[in-house]
């Protein structure tokens, strides 16, 4: 039920964004209202101008039930964030690089499994923190009658490809980037080059910091490798392999590499920086046995994700038979 609702919500938002509006709708007053609308301007989800203007001139306010239900979901997420920050201190450990301090003091060291777990919970904290922030501002806009695109449309633990991760992380920003940067730069025809322009813009948009620019360029390298792998998998020479049951497991191995790449890039960009990531990775990969355990855990999780994607595809076909 929830998945079907999400599919319909995405469709309605896309139809508003693609709707043809009368030229009189594109005036300075509505543009200023769009640019300075507090729920979207401060830190909320980002809406395209077409989507916003369509709702101004063709209002279809969300029901009180929908707003209240969304508010309850936000409270649940806020409670989860409070429990996380008061019971798991991974973010503080990573921020002050406690493993490095313990090494200097000659105290007990973190094991590779400890370090990998810290990295996971740091990213989980980031995901939940932004989820609460963005959903608060979306709730504000819903209460005001503006249905902005939802962010965080997929859980952090339910991503195995880099492209899909960014489409579902700051999902509304992704829609904005596609409409105003990706398509004007040539779209899919220049996709490999567009990635560099877009992620550099995104890194600078976050803040003028070298670690964020480094994060952006690392992501471009990883996305380029993923694009090449996807292109290779579509080649006709791969058809016999796809019919073999082992292809799924080969894809899962590649997906594990994607997950590790995502975790590394985000730790560089938002936690450790370029100077701190080398010690962190050395601590994790210094023990072969621990690396095998980490890889096996991610591999098993990816297999579950594959099953979830098949279910989502089935639901999408059921809700949208034409698509």
Q: Which are the catalytic amino acids?
A: 206
- Distance, in Å, from the CA atom of 217 to the CA atom of 223, rounded to the nearest integer, reads 10
- Distance, in Å, from the CA atom of 133 to the CA atom of 142, rounded to the nearest integer, reads 14
CB 20 within 8 A of CB 122: no
CB 302 within 8 A of CB 259: yes
Q: Helices (DSSP H) in 207-320: which residue ranges?
A: 210-233, 239-243, 246-267, 273-285, 288-319
Quote the tokens at residue 117: 């777990």
Cα–Cα nearest to 154, from 12, 309, 31:
309
Quote the tokens at residue 92: 């503080």
- Distance, in Å, from the CA atom of 319 to the CA atom of 323, rounded to the nearest integer, reads 9
């Amino acid at each position: 039920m929830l998945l079907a609702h999400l599919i319909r919500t995405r469709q309605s938002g896309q139809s508003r964004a693609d709707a043809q509006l009368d030229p009189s709708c594109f005036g300075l007053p509505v543009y200023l209202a769009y640019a300075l609308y507090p729920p979207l301007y401060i830190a909320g989800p980002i809406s395209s101008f077409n989507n916003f203007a369509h709702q101004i001139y063709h209002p279809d306010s969300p029901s009180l039930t929908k707003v209240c239900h969304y508010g309850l979901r936000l409270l649940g997420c806020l409670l989860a964030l409070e429990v996380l920050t008061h019971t798991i201190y991974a973010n503080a450990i990573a921020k002050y690089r406690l493993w490095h301090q313990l090494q200097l003091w000659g105290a007990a060291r973190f094991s590779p499994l400890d370090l990998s777990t810290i990295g996971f919970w740091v990213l989980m904290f980031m995901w939940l923190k932004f989820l609460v922030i963005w959903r608060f501002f979306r709730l504000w806009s819903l209460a005001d009658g503006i249905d902005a695109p939802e962010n965080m449309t997929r859980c952090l633990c339910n991503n195995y490809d880099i492209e899909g991760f960014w489409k579902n992380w700051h999902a509304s920003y992704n829609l904005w980037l596609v409409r105003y940067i990706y398509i004007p730069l040539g779209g899919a025809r220049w996709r490999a080059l567009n990635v560099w322009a877009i992620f550099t813009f995104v890194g600078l948009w976050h803040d003028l910091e070298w670690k964020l620019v480094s994060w952006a360029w690392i992501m471009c390298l990883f996305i380029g490798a993923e694009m090449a792998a996807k292109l290779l998998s579509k080649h006709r020479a791969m058809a016999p392999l796809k019919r073999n049951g082992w292809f799924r497991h080969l894809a899962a191995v590649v997906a594990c590499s994607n997950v590790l790449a995502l975790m590394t890039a985000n730790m560089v960009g938002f936690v450790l920086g370029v100077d701190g990531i080398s010690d962190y990775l050395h601590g994790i990969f210094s023990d072969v046995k621990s690396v095998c355990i980490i890889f096996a855990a991610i591999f098993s999780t990816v297999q579950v994700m594959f099953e979830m994607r098949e279910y989502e595809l089935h639901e999408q076909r059921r809700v949208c038979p034409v698509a």
